[in-house]
Chains A and B, each alone.
Chain A
Amino acid sequence: MTMAQEATGTDRNPALAHPDRGWTVHSTFNSIILLALAAGAPVAMYIGATFWVDIFTRLVILSIAATGLNLILGCGGMVSFGHAAFIGLGAYAAGIPTYHVLYGGFEAIATTSGFVHLAIAVVVCAVFAFLTGAICLRTKGVYFIMITMAFGQMVFFAFVSMETYGGDDGLTIDTRSEFPLISLDKPLVLYAVCFISLLATLYLVHRLTNSRFGMVLQAAKQNEERVRALGVNAYLYRLTAYVISGAICGYAGFLLGNFTTFISPEMMDWTRSGELMFMVILGGAAYLFGPIVGVAVFLVLEQTLSGVMVHWHLPFGILLILTVLFVKGGLSGLFDRWAGKHE
């Protein structure tokens, strides 16, 4: 293990260390995941299991959000407990303009055009991430966790008190965002859009973490003083990463709002942020495909446990505690250790 490897922890994070290491067990596993996702929904549609098309869509959308969170969590070591706020903002960005088309008022944004919704989602989330991030990133560790949680709740309460958009009862939208040539009303079309978005997000995060930008983030996570001594302003890099992460989650929210057609402040509650974080950690925060694994396991657990007992949060919570206490590096870490023994 070279000094450089030790310094950046790249010996422990193979997925982030050697982008061109060639084909490995890891790459095979990742490819299988992508193939399964690409084929899963069409196959389910073909055999008439529309319920499973919904599950796949939800899986892909949450994976986009979890990958966005992983950019700052796994790569940058910033534990944000308020990321659900971005998802909610993105969802409302799809809902509020449509609401105004139906009920009038606020002419400037009243439109069903998907491009406008998308732009609003990404821009609003980026601005919110910039403003809150500028304050949050002045703190570290647990202060950062609590402050991001508090800002997330702030947005939650703001939307709960907005009676015009339904407040606590939520907002139902009758028409999804409209794009030329494609109709999001068709489940497979929506799924295709989501899947392609996931591929784009994975590529973006992969390029970011393996660039100089990503190296600075990882270095700052390990030893911020050393980074500063090298003359690099870690704060600006972190803020940029935070804004990008917020925008990605906002985009996921935009897709989610269109998918569920029911948008409520519940999407932004801090417990949702906790679930999102659990998905990332369970799957493995240092790995590019970790979040996808985490989301998949989470959804499978949710479906099976809630089918077995009403109070399914009990075994779920116990599992969470056990994972935190005993499983290092999440499921991807477990897989890596297994694969390491068999390679």
Chain B
Amino acid sequence: MDYSLFVIQTLNGLQLGVLLFLVAAGLTLTFGIMDLVNLAHGSLYMLGAFFCAVLTISTGSFLIGVALALPLTALAGFVVEFVVIRHLYSKDHLDHVLATFGLILVIDSLAQMAFRPEGYSVPLPEFLRGQVTLFSGIVFPTFRVAIIATGLLLAAALYVLVTHTRLGMLIRAGASNRTMVSALGVNIAALFSGVFVLGATIAGLAGMMIAPITEASYSMGNDIIIVTFVIIIVGGIGSMKGAFVAAILIGLIDTMGRSYLDDIFKLIMSAEYAETAAPAVSAMLVYILMAIVLAVRPQGLFPPKTR
């Protein structure tokens, strides 16, 4: 087996996993604290990518683009929370699903009216293009290394936030027992707003990081939201640790599956069948994993302890 290809694909899987974690973090926070299913989370991921793309192209610098797009995405998240999400806290989950589904249509339409139809490709600065040489002479794109590093850094920062700060304590308390937190005199409205905006901004950042690789397109939000749901289901709804583990796991399985399933199938069936079956099965792999986890442990891998 080709050793360098294996390492590269592992790193690719890690990069995908880290990115999925950033999107899933916001969703699992929103769900854990506010008990709100937000289908439109993917749309905020998309908005982050578009804001960054437009700002990068107009200012000429990717880093400035990201720096300016972050507060813009936070603002977008705040507006969404203030106008729509706020009214959904008292409703049941079906209402959340339908309302945020409508929200997706609204945000996507507004984006299509504001930006051009073909989407944007985001140019990278010189120092992020090119490749670095890792151990054993394996070469890997610099930007992807940057993504992995940023993602892990953010994951660590979120860990510190959730476990070592007062806000984190409120978040964990809210995930365990929302009513009690409110009864203890915490400004629930501000907490909810803050959590939602935080989640939206991190998701937007993930969009900004993937945009130079896959281009900013209107379908990216809808494409990512389902996988994100799979991650928080597998990881355990409301759990950051669960989201991280599940995201890395799914990132690796998806990437490795697509690369090696073909060859694995060829060991047990004819080349012809392998070539038609492998792409279909590797596309379904993530969902098969979800089905297995649910059959064995329906509450997810690391469910938060509730009262």
Contacts and interface: CB of A to CB of B under 8 A. Distances in A.
A184 to B, nearest CB: 30
A-B pairs, 4 with minimum CB distance: A317-B105, A320-B102, A314-B109, A157-B283
Interface in A42-89: 79, 81
A164 B276 contact: yes
Given A146-B230, A320-B101, 7 more contacts: A139-B298, A146-B37, A150-B230, A151-B287, A157-B283, A311-B109, A323-B98
B33 interface: no
A158 B87 CA distance: 37
A160 B102 contact: no
Contacts of A135: 291, 294-295
Interface of A: 79, 81, 135, 138-139, 141-143, 145-147, 149-151, 153-154, 157-158, 160-164, 270-271, 274, 277-278, 281, 311, 313-314, 316-321, 323-325
Interface string B227-238: 001100100010
A301 to B, nearest CB: 12
Interface string B208-246: 000000000000001000100110010001000000000
B98 A316 contact: no
B95 interface: yes
B99 A321 contact: yes
Given A135-B295, A138-B298, A161-B279, A311 B113 contact: yes
B84 A321 contact: yes
Interface string B109-131: 11011000000000000000000
Contacts of A154: 283-284, 287-288
Contacts of B109: 311, 313-314, 317
A149 B101 contact: no
Interface of B: 31, 37, 84, 87-88, 91, 93-99, 101-106, 108-110, 112-113, 222, 226, 229-230, 233, 237, 276, 279-280, 282-284, 287-288, 290-291, 294-295, 298
A324 B98 CA distance: 7
Nearest to A158: B280
Contact of A320 (B88, B105, B110, B230): B105
Contact of A139 (B101, B279, B288, B294): B294
A76 B279 CA distance: 36
Contact of A162 (B230, B276, B291): B276
Nearest to A152: B226
Nearest to B87: A325
A316 B105 contact: yes
Contact of A142 (B93, B282, B295): B93
A151 B284 CA distance: 9
B226 A277 contact: no
B298 A160 contact: no
24 contacts: A79-B94, A142-B37, A143-B237, A145-B37, A145-B93, A154-B283, A154-B287, A157-B284, A158-B283, A160-B283, A163-B276, A274-B98, A281-B94, A313-B106, A313-B109, A314-B105, A314-B106, A314-B109, A320-B101, A321-B84, A321-B99, A323-B98, A324-B98, A324-B102
B229 A320 contact: no
Nearest to A164: B276
Nearest to B223: A153
Contacts of A164: 276
B280 A162 contact: yes
A79 B284 contact: no
